[in-house]
Structure 1
């Protein structure tokens, strides 16, 4: 059981009614609170919840339309995203109770101050290195529009500027990270066919791929609903079209790919987690056609080449700069 869920269950009498659990982990919390429902923006958590509690959790960037009498937000990493989520919930709960739960190391005490605009927050519990806060929504905000949080940046690339739309909570919000910048310089001579941008974030790589390889089919995949929304916005801003898929790993990708391109993820919330990246390296060959290529950027200290060569083929280093390397391998 997630420690944040354990803290909620210490106060289980507060959550027996129609409570919405926003950003909940895929543990047994819904089983302990039979009248509760979930709202998730993490495809992996949602898949686990759907498997165990079919129909009781919804995936997306907006709060479920079905009514709820109170809500609990499991604190996300981004302060801006926390604001959006709190406003989304508080707008539906005038005069009702809104809760915030999170780990101390994730900044729950700081985040609790974000409740002050709705009323007077109070701490209900502190245990398992987590805290639970409550506020009565005396000042309900208007329902926030996701598009109003979008930040537009223009990237000056060799083949012309690219408009990028980013959202709070999405990797590298409002800027171009160094790893992606390096990979953008090494996207030439990819095999034609079906291309996959794995861990697409705001859709920068995917949009550049579609622009440079317009005849190729393109799929963008990410675990995060807000990243998928940002990718759709970025594609639209540049007049591009592609398939956008939600999945927590390469298992959700289509087969018959000619190339997989990625700046693979290594965070899960506030935690460092290389599982999705390492699984990509192990399973890429199953999704690639013979001769298909894997091309990724990674921190140079990560020992990815032996893993790539074990499961795919000879690994070449195409470039190295500022602590990153571009790796390339083809399926034999």
Structure 2
């Protein structure tokens, strides 16, 4: 059981009714709270929860339509996303109660101050290195319009400007990260066919690929619902059409790809996770056609070449700059 869930269950009498659990972990909390509903924006967590608790979770960037008496927000990493999520549930709960639970080192005390816009936050419990806060919604906000919270920026590329739209919580919100900027310089001479932007984020790579290779099928894949929504907005802002899908890692990708391009994720919340990136390297060959390529950017300290050599093919370093490396391999 996730320690945040354990803290909630110490106060289980508060959550016996129709409570919305927003951003809940994929543990047994729904089993312990049979009247609760789940709202997730992580495709993997949602799939695991839905397999165990059918039709009790929603995968979306907006709260489920089903009514709820109170809501618990599991603290996300992003302050901007926290603000949106709090507003989204508070707008549905005038006079109701919102709870916030999170790890101390994730900044739950700081995040609790964001609830002061609705009323007076109160700490209810502290255990398992986590805290549980409560606020009664005395001043309910208007329902937030997610698109109005988007940040826009333009990339000046050789074939013209690219307009990028990012939503709260999406990696590198409002700016282009250094790794992706480096990879953009190494997208030439890709084989024709089906191209995949894995871990697409705001859709920068996918949009560039579709514009540069208009005759190729392009798919963008991410585990996060807000990233999927951002990618669709970025494509639309540039008059481009491509498939955008959600899924938990490379297993959700199509087969017979001609190339996989990625700035693969290795952070989740306040913890460091390499699973999605390592799974990508171990399983990419299953999704690539013979002679298909993978090109990815990674922090220099990450030991990816041995995995690439073992599971895909000979690993070539195309660039080494600014603490990042661009790797390329061809599937045999």
**Correspondence 1:149 to 2:149:** yes
Q: Quote how far apart the aligned CAs of 1:300 are.
A: 1.1
* Cross-structure match for 1:290: 290
- Distance in 2 (alpha carbons) for counterparts of 1:219 and 1:44: 19
Deviation at 1:272, TM superposition (A): 1.0
Partner-residue secondary structure (3-state), 1:153 = strand
Question: Could you tell me which residue of structure 1 aligns to residue 124 of structure 2?
Answer: 124
The answer to whether structure 1 residue 235 and structure 2 residue 235 are counterparts is: yes
SS in 1 for 2:254: coil
Quote the Cα distance in structure 1 between the aligned partners of 2:137 and 2:119: 6
- 1:90 match: 90
Tell me how far 1:84 sits from its aligned partner: 0.4
Q: Indicate yes or no: 2:179 matched with 1:187.
A: no
Match of 1:12 in 2: 12
Deviations 1:30-58 (A, max 9, x none): 00000000000001110110111111000
What is the CA deviation profile of residues 221-256 of structure 1, one whole-angstrom value per residue up to 9, with x for unaligned ones? Answer: 001000000000000000001111111200000101
Matched, 1:77 2:113: no
The separation in 1 between residues aligned to 2:301 and 2:62, in whole angstroms, is 38
Distance 1:300 1:157 in 2: 25
- The yes-or-no answer on 1:255 pairing with 2:255 is yes
Q: Distance in 1 between matches of 2:171 and 2:135?
A: 30
Q: After TM superposition, give the deviation of residue 263 of structure 1 in Å.
A: 0.2
Provide runs of 4+ in structure 1 moved above 3 Å.
Answer: none
How far apart are the structure 1 equivalents of 2:87 and 2:308?
44
The aligned length equals: 332
Aligned match of 1:63 = 63
1:113: which partner in 2? Answer: 113
Map 1:173-322 onto structure 2 (within 5 A). Answer: 173-322=173-322
Q: Deviations over 1:79-134 (max 9, x none)?
A: 11101000000000001111000000000000000111101111000000000001
* 1:135 maps to 2:140: no
Q: TM-score, normalised by structure 1?
A: 0.99
Partner SS, residue 221 of structure 1: strand
Offset of 1:159 from its aligned partner? 1.3
Measured in 2, the distance between the counterparts of 1:330 and 1:242 equals 24
What are structure 2's unaligned runs of at least 5 residues? Answer: none
Q: CA deviation at 1:178?
A: 0.6
Compute the displacement of 1:11 (Å).
0.1
Give 1:302 deviation, angstroms. Answer: 1.2
How large is the RMSD of aligned CA atoms in angstroms?
0.5
Where does structure 1 lack aligned partners over 5 or more consecutive residues? none
Q: Normalising by structure 2, what TM-score?
A: 0.99
Give the match's secondary structure for 2:251.
Answer: helix
Who is 2:40 aligned against?
40
Secondary structure of 2:230's aligned partner:
helix
After TM superposition, give the deviation of residue 168 of structure 1 in Å: 1.2
Alpha-carbon separation, structure 2, partners of 1:302 and 1:96:
47
CA shift, 1:29, in A, is 0.1
Separation of aligned partners in 2, 1:302 and 1:23: 29
d(CA) in 1 for partners of 2:120, 2:178: 42
Q: CA deviation at 1:167?
A: 1.1
